[in-house]
Amino acid sequence: MLERRDRLQDELFVAGSLRELIPADHILVRVDKVLDLSWLRAAVSGCYDLEQGRPGIDPEAAVRLMLAGLLLGIVHDRKLLREAQVNLAIRWFCGYALHERVPDHSSLTRVRRRWGAERFLRIFERTVLQCVAAGLVKGELVHLDATLIRADVSWESLVKVHVEAVAEANADGKSEDDDPPSAGGPSTGGKAKRGKLKKISRTDPEARMATSHRKQRLEPSYKQLTAVDGAAGVVVDVDVVSGETHEGGALPEQLDRVEQRTGLPVATATGDKAHASAGNYAALEARGTRAVIPPQRLRPAPMPLERFKYDAAHDLVRCPQGRKLRRAGRYAKGRFHRARPADCRACALKARCVPKSMRARSVQIPDGYPALLRARRRHRRRLPEDRAAAASHRARVEGVHGEAKAQHGLRRAMRRGLWNVAIQVYLTAAVINLKRLARALLRLLLRPGALPRRLEALLDRLARTCERTLARPAVPATALR
Ligand code: SF4
């Protein structure tokens, strides 16, 4: 016998809640169980004039719409609102009944403008606190990494800049090539300025040309700095900077924010070669955090720096011939040590050691160099705990980046401007954390015999976290300073 469907469905009202029409394992149903936005209305009420004007969109509904879009991989507002018209799960998740009109897509744009990135950062922070309360964050191992996000601009919008500035500096018509080569080392003056042509986008000037690999072309990009806790892959910090910013310099600040946010000291931090600076090793040592960061490979110079012995007690360097190299000034991140010209002149290694343009060898010793040497020694020992931490780095933090890009649309920025990209990044990180929470809750539910007491304890901890968060100041977003 075959069933026959009546396609003329003239019922207008549904008996019962929309929830009953949505499968229990739907991602929005699962996330709804751990999502708490009851604090939001009070937090954003200062952005509205409560006396006059048209009533704005319900803050919780607006955020739920944005989160639903990211959870379902629909990142464009217009597309999301069109989908919300016909998608029961989105309607139920955001509180819109079947007969109600969903808001216009421009409402979400206005919400973002009105609230600013700070309030979206608080949404992300609350998910971190929920994860801490649920025991998903331990602070023992934190992985740090960065990823590029393609800016939402066209290739046609890119223009070359600095041409005028360089032309002005070279107004006398003299160029660098006009100068005769100097006889004794680098010239110090008298040269015309040679400018580097940089491309920026006219439509999004805050994006910068960057690439993640030297064999790939430069693209207008933003950079996301991410910290992921090693226990359950919870994102504990995100920040956004322009694409050309080097991520290494942000490491101490990132760890400060992680500790401040989670209330847990970071025992071990992993990173990649971009974090392998002497300053970072020294900063991690000073705060008592073990660094699992592979040191940069030394350049294969004829006489590399590692052949020079650094004496930290007397702050001097000895060359392979045992001669002293004394301090000879500073550069931005360290100091120069220079040999005596008389020593080098009489040395048999001079041809290999001293560049032709110089009379004596000079080396750069970055600040925190002893910590870098200790890190190198430790890296050579390849301790099992270091290898385990390094092995989980890729799965955890790069896994989060892959998840954000493949499932939540972070491959490309959806809007222009640093603050807009920051909002997208904060919400995407919040979505990933909510998924971790929902999965943890599901595991609790599936654990036989432990359900009532454990679930009660978890919900209790979540509620207490929410209360604590309301009384807590937000961590400032350095990207927005
Ligand atoms: S050239 Fe100068 S710095 Fe190099 S090994 Fe000889 S004495 Fe030392």
- pLDDT surpasses 90 at 47: no
Q: Are residues 27 and 88 in the same domain?
A: yes
Rounded to two decimals, the pTM is 0.82
> Which pLDDT belongs to residue 410?
93
- Ligand 1 centre distance from Cα of residue 359 (Å): 10
- pLDDT surpasses 80 at 199: yes
> Which pLDDT belongs to residue 16?
72
Q: Are residues 32 and 115 in the same domain?
A: yes
- pLDDT surpasses 60 at 173: no
* 11: confidence class by pLDDT, cuts 50, 70, 90: low
> Which pLDDT belongs to residue 183?
33
Tell me the C-alpha distance between 117 and 480, whole Å.
Answer: 8
Q: Are residues 352 and 427 in the same domain?
A: no
* 181: confidence class by pLDDT, cuts 50, 70, 90: very low
* 394: confidence class by pLDDT, cuts 50, 70, 90: confident
> Which pLDDT belongs to residue 459?
65
Flag whether 450 is in a domain: yes
Task: Using the atom order of ligand 1, give the atom closest to the CA of residue 303.
Answer: 4
Q: Which among 361, 363, 365 is the best mutation to test ligand 1's pocket, defined by most ligand atoms within 8 Å of the CB?
A: 361
Q: Which among 308, 337, 349 is the best mutation to test ligand 1's pocket, defined by most ligand atoms within 8 Å of the CB?
A: 349
> Which pLDDT belongs to residue 456?
61
Flag whether 272 is in a domain: no
> Residue 195's CB: how many other CB atoms inside 10 A?
16
Q: Are residues 334 and 432 in the same domain?
A: no
Domain boundary (350, 367, 384) is at 367
Flag whether 106 is in a domain: yes
pLDDT tens digits, one per residue of 315-330: 889 999 999 998 888 9
Considering just the CA atoms, what is the radius of gyration of the chain in Å?
A: 28
Q: Are residues 363 and 418 in the same domain?
A: no
Look at ligand 1, atom 8, and give the residue with the nearest C-alpha. 319
H or E element: which one contains 161?
A: strand 158-161
Residue of 246, 230, 275 lying closest to 371 (CA atoms) = 275
Tell me the C-alpha distance between 155 and 35, whole Å.
Answer: 39
395 Cβ neighbours under 8 A, 6+ residues apart = none
Q: Is 343 in the pocket of ligand 1 (CB under 6 A)?
A: yes
**Secondary structure letter of residue 198 according to DSSP:** E
**Alpha-carbon distances, residue 410 vs 33, 41, 308, 373, 415 (angstroms):** 25, 27, 46, 38, 11
Q: For all residues of the chain together, what is the average pLDDT?
A: 85
> Residue 216's CB: how many other CB atoms inside 10 A?
9
> Which pLDDT belongs to residue 226?
97
Tell me the C-alpha distance between 183 and 180, whole Å.
Answer: 9
- pLDDT surpasses 80 at 314: yes
- Ligand 1 centre distance from Cα of residue 353 (Å): 6
Q: Residues 221-245: what's their mean pLDDT?
A: 95
Q: Is 478 in the pocket of ligand 1 (CB under 6 A)?
A: no
Cα 368 from chain centroid? 25
Tell me the C-alpha distance between 441 and 446, whole Å.
Answer: 9
* 179: confidence class by pLDDT, cuts 50, 70, 90: very low
* 64: confidence class by pLDDT, cuts 50, 70, 90: very high
Look at ligand 1, atom 2, and give the residue with the nearest C-alpha. 344
Residue of 386, 189, 177 lying closest to 270 (CA atoms) = 386
- pLDDT surpasses 70 at 176: no
**Residues 424, 425, 428: CA angle, nearest 5 degrees:** 85
Tell me the C-alpha distance between 96 and 273, whole Å.
Answer: 49
Task: Using the atom order of ligand 1, give the atom closest to the CA of residue 319.
Answer: 8
Tell me the C-alpha distance between 63 and 66, whole Å.
Answer: 5
H or E element: which one contains 463?
A: helix 451-470
Q: Are residues 128 and 24 in the same domain?
A: yes
More confident residue, 329 or 66: 66
Q: Are residues 28 and 121 in the same domain?
A: yes
- Ligand 1 centre distance from Cα of residue 323 (Å): 7
Quote the domain boundaries for residue 312: 305-367
> Which pLDDT belongs to residue 300?
66
Cα 60 from chain centroid? 26
268 beta partners? 141, 290
pLDDT tens digits, one per residue of 421-457: 999 999 999 999 999 999 988 777 666 665 556 666 6
Q: Are residues 420 and 352 in the same domain?
A: no
- pLDDT surpasses 60 at 217: yes
Tell me the C-alpha distance between 297 and 372, whole Å.
Answer: 12
- Ligand 1 centre distance from Cα of residue 296 (Å): 24
Q: Are residues 38 and 109 in the same domain?
A: yes
Q: Is 321 in the pocket of ligand 1 (CB under 6 A)?
A: yes
Q: Are residues 357 and 438 in the same domain?
A: no
pLDDT tens digits, one per residue of 106-135: 999 999 999 999 999 999 999 999 999 999
Residue 429 contacts residue 235 (beta carbons within 8 Å):
yes
Q: Residues 217-221: what's their mean pLDDT?
A: 91
Q: Is 317 in the pocket of ligand 1 (CB under 6 A)?
A: no
Give the type of residue at 74: I
pLDDT tens digits, one per residue of 343-374: 999 999 999 899 888 899 999 899 999 999 99
Percent of the chain with pLDDT over 70: 81
User: CA dihedral defined by 406, 410, 411, 414, rounded to 10 degrees?
Assistant: 130
Return the beta strands (E) in 43-181 as ranges: 141-150, 158-161
> Which pLDDT belongs to residue 360?
92
- pLDDT surpasses 60 at 186: no
Flag whether 433 is in a domain: yes
**Residues 435, 437, 438: CA angle, nearest 5 degrees:** 65
> Which pLDDT belongs to residue 307?
86
- pLDDT surpasses 70 at 174: no
**Alpha-carbon distances, residue 182 vs 24, 174, 175, 339 (angstroms):** 77, 17, 15, 21
The two three-digit tokens of residue 272, written as one number: 């990649």
Q: Residues 78-99: what's their mean pLDDT?
A: 93
Q: Are residues 422 and 363 in the same domain?
A: no
Flag whether 220 is in a domain: no
Count: domains in the chain: 2
Residue 105 contacts residue 81 (beta carbons within 8 Å):
yes
Q: Is 339 in the pocket of ligand 1 (CB under 6 A)?
A: yes
Flag whether 113 is in a domain: yes
* 21: confidence class by pLDDT, cuts 50, 70, 90: confident
Residue of 126, 108, 102, 133 lying closest to 43 (CA atoms) = 126
> Which pLDDT belongs to residue 19?
83
Residue 221 contacts residue 204 (beta carbons within 8 Å):
no
Q: Is 347 in the pocket of ligand 1 (CB under 6 A)?
A: yes
Q: Is 350 in the pocket of ligand 1 (CB under 6 A)?
A: yes
> Which pLDDT belongs to residue 185?
34
- pLDDT surpasses 90 at 401: yes
Flag whether 246 is in a domain: no
Residue 336, judged by CB atoms within 10 A of its CB (0-12, 13-18, 19+), counts as middle
Q: Is 349 in the pocket of ligand 1 (CB under 6 A)?
A: yes
Q: Are residues 41 and 125 in the same domain?
A: yes
Tell me the C-alpha distance between 84 and 86, whole Å.
Answer: 5
> Which pLDDT belongs to residue 175?
45
Q: Residues 13-17: what's their mean pLDDT?
A: 70
